[in-house]
Structures are given as structure tokens and as C-alpha cells.
Amino acid sequence: KPFSDRIYKAFRVSLVHNWNLFEASIYADDSTIRIEGGTLAFGLHNFFDALVAGTEDYLNSLPSGGDILTNTRNQYQKLRTSAKP
């Protein structure tokens, strides 16, 4: 969690459009998340674990309703209608 803002900034839009690898160093191991020379660095295995944990937190927050639930439902409906059988 201490690096979540940097990950969000570096990859939120990039995940949709492309990966901006100049803002982070990704290693093919399970090295911990850290800052190396001013750049965010982490192991891909840890990133997967963090992605799973973040997704679980997100899904657990949905029952509380609000904008996040509405946005999720709208996005799901949009994806569902565009999905190929």
C-alpha cells in the first residue's frame, strides 16, 4: 500500500492504452516493491500477488454500493454487450 499512488499514476491509464515502462522497472522475480534511483521497481510475481489482493479488496467493497458499484455495473454491461460468443 505505501506505493499504491505511484503504481496507480504509472499504470492506470497505461494499462488501458499501453505499458509505460519508462516509469517503472519490472523484474522477472519476486523482489519487493521499492524505489530504485527515483523509479518504482518491483518483481512481477509480487505484482501479480498485489493485483489479486487489490482485486479482492475491490470486489469486497462493491456490496457497500455508491459510485464504485454503479461504475462497475456500467462497465460490466458495456463489456458484456461487446463480448464475442
What the block records as the C-alpha cell of 83 is 463480448
Span 21-76, pLDDT tens digits: 567 788 889 888 889 888 888 888 878 887 788 888 878 877 877 887 888 888 87
What does pTM read for this prediction? Answer: 0.45
Residue 9: pLDDT band with limits 50, 70, 90: low
Q: Report CA-CA distances (Å) from 10 to 3, 26, 74, 80.
A: 11, 12, 25, 28
DSSP state of 33: P
